[in-house]
Chain A
Amino acid sequence: MTDAVRLHFLVDGEDFTSAGQASVQVKKNLRQLGIAPEIIRKVSIAMYEGEINMVIHAGGGEADVLIYEDRIEIELVDRGPGIANIDLAMQEGFSTAPDNIRSLGFGAGMGLPNMKRYTDSMHIESALGEGTRILMTVRL
């Protein structure tokens, strides 16, 4: 078994302008590794939604991308407020995004549904006042 390639990113919660950079970087890395374009698209879009969520809703966090022979895993961990009702948050259209963020085109409540749509499995653990951990897997 060859070891996984691991990419690690700190996602700055103070800087909305650069939010999303880690995902754009992952897209570039996956391309260099010769990963198929459809896979790159799924991984980078799912990660972008999660990365933006960490900045908007959780004050930033950390992202890890692990590239194995048969799959890519994306792990997003934050110490934000947590998600009170995960089933509700997963529904298309549910959003607590503030107005200033909505005016930039976010807050449609489609990010988590997109993450589910673009990955083969998605697992959310969240505790109020402690934070949220999201693990997504895309099969190669």
Chain B
Amino acid sequence: MTVYEMAKQLELTPIAVPEGDRNCAGVYIGDLLSWVMGRAKSENVWITIMSNIKIVAVASLTDVACVVLAEGVTVDDRVRETAEQKGVNIYTSEKTAYELATALASLTK
């Protein structure tokens, strides 16, 4: 499933989507960046409430398919611009991390 398709199904709000046709598979949830660096896998959807500039580098280095900010968290313009430049997809949603994860689980059934 592409990032676009997944985002449409989950009714996510786009923040930066420079590479929306990337494939996504699996989910990682976490806010402590070194945990994410150690555990998130390539192509994962990374759900977090962390919104500072470092999420762009972490998403890029772990090669996750996209970042989904839960609980209505947003980012400032610099983060959005850097994400566009670095090819990192970011969405936001009012849903909780749990609601997002269960919705993602039912998508892949």
- Decide yes or no whether A34 CB sits under 8 A from chain B: no
Q: Is B60 touching A45 in the complex (CB atoms < 8 A)?
A: no
Question: What is the size category of the interface that chain B forms with chain A?
Answer: 20 to 34
- Checking A17, A23, A27, A111 against B34 with a beta-carbon cut-off of 8 angstroms, the contacting residue is A111
Task: Closest B residue to A102 by CB, please name it.
Answer: B32
> Which A residues lie within 8 Å of B19 (CB)?
none
In the complex with contacts A41-B42, A41-B61, A44-B61, A17-B53 CB distance below 8 A: yes
Not counting A48-B37, A49-B37, A105-B50, a sample of 18 additional A-B residue pairs whose C-beta atoms are within 8 angstroms of each other reads A23-B61, A27-B61, A41-B42, A45-B61, A48-B58, A49-B34, A104-B50, A105-B31, A105-B32, A105-B52, A105-B54, A106-B33, A107-B32, A108-B33, A108-B35, A109-B34, A110-B35, A110-B38
> How far, in angstroms, from A117 to B62 measured CA to CA in the complex?
14
